[in-house]
Structure 1
């Protein structure tokens, strides 16, 4: 039911009002106060109502943030002295999907144990409903201004910049507010919240953000910012109009956040270029499974200064353990104000890395066959998340998506020909496992 990023799926099929009601009842058993917010998807309104009903009939008070970025929800759990937070969002998924993601007071997503507890309660229809005169209250709070103020306080801009922000028709307008408050000249793309995502697909990839890159590259803008539907992700464009890879951003953020002797948490599909660049400054890396909940858990450990994912999730543990795309936008603006992003990126030696995704009918069965084949063939294998094979001068990873019926393949080497060969090797392995 719960993937690494909560519940996600097509509305009316996997994600229904009945499910939202059941989640509300399950969370409400041991929560006295819960913060709830949603992205602009039309289905979010009735899913919020259903989830809120389940909470209130359990005697739980609800703080309704309305339309709010996921990091606003994550931060507001502590601000509102709540026991949990709920984001009604499918993040970067297409408009026909929606989802439910649960947050702890620290801002970290529910971990495996907490998710399993909620799942068990839903399966057994466990509930603790109260009498008619003991139902929880529902109050409305606008937490976005407080989030904006926290972002402004978190960074220092050497000088105001000209920034283009592609909000992606999502909930990330707080980025525009914060950058404006910091003195930046801000131009927006797709700023009107619309859960059908008419401006571009929600996921902020290079392909989907071509208009942003073109506008930044052909104007005097210093920086471009792009978010997904709930603004937990952030990607960036240099003043030259180049869309930076997630690995380059991870390297830049990690180097800026950590000092020598400290550690940066990265998922298993991260480029070797990140570790190499950080090592130059005496910064170590620790690998985690893919998913912000795992990166956040690692980032909460002593000595870990930052955690991030190449997909665009960035975590500064001293601020919040929720991936905060608007905070990342302000951080990258501060960096660009001190030195152009293109110059910073040029310092990072990048390597050829290949990624693809394959639709599969039963990803669990496919991955089991992959593990069996790899165990028989290779010596250096990690099963921390999926199957990662170290080939000495190269590596490849085969892992099931936590939110979609896909198996993802990643391969990298420091030389182009070697990367192509290892990528083909991994694809062949997966192909044989899907037969």
Structure 2
């Protein structure tokens, strides 16, 4: 690690535990900071807090008392999930106490180079692609952030011949001051997490922090086809590397005559790429740009694109049964993500959708249902989805109690050549703890089919 003295003797409040809070508390304690951990879960039920206390770290559990801010704090390290309208966070900001997230620690302490990836959609797929593309290159890739291990844990053990490939959310980026990746990637910007950020402008501002501290020695890989992303690029001081599916950009990454090019160098024909979906072409272009910038071998990039069929729960190919193709897209927790999944297929689709009712209708989904031959709906939103489907002219609409039942129903309705797609367009919390649990039930149900 570098800058190991910058937190020695400093008073730091770690607000919220989970994986990132625990990792940050342990690292700061190791660096000689005076750490107080505050978590909303009661002490009796809080095994993490008990373990930290045994290591000599002060813990306060069960509430977030404002009095914790009366100790001349040097900074607050906030769990990304705690919103800024939380009273103790609001008061810390009012008192001009720096409020950061643990990705800030990773950035300032790591000896390794860093590639940071953000965007409204496609972060995990792009992060995974870059990580795989950098294998067998001059620098050893380490994956971190929302995917893989907590970023400050990775940074703690990273060496100068490593490169950290970090998936960064808007929640994490908002809590940064000196965050400085060598290569940053901004994929796209849509309306998202407005309940957390308040306005779209605040959301875009948080995402923009991925390049805020970059200099002309760094590289900003950005989506030229997205007007909002291009506006962010105009303000970046980094060297620009655009990618586009619509234009030939000789200084960037692009598609031309059915092939992918990096600065006019042929990389691969699209016909050789196994990852489905037009939206994934953008993710691939971004990954190629970042990986090539960091020294990936073209042969390794080609190998990855010829073999990588998707991240778990993100338009993940599960298996083929009696000429039916099963795809798990449980991560599609909103309408936009489900639309992108549906638009990835030209074959007839049997769609499995439903979940938590956030009060919205599904009219926006209708334009993407043209190749859907049947809908199997489940969860709180099943009636709303059924209305949308029937309005779009889908004759076969059935209901299921859970995803596993929906799989059996979909298979019964299917014919050879069909795609059976779980793309819920809803969050999972009405029936499942996480979208992963929902996706795992889908995969297990597919595995049981004969």
TM-score by length of 1: 0.30
Question: Larger C-alpha radius of gyration, 1 or 2?
Answer: 2
The structure whose RCO (Cα within 8 Å, separation 6+) is larger is 1
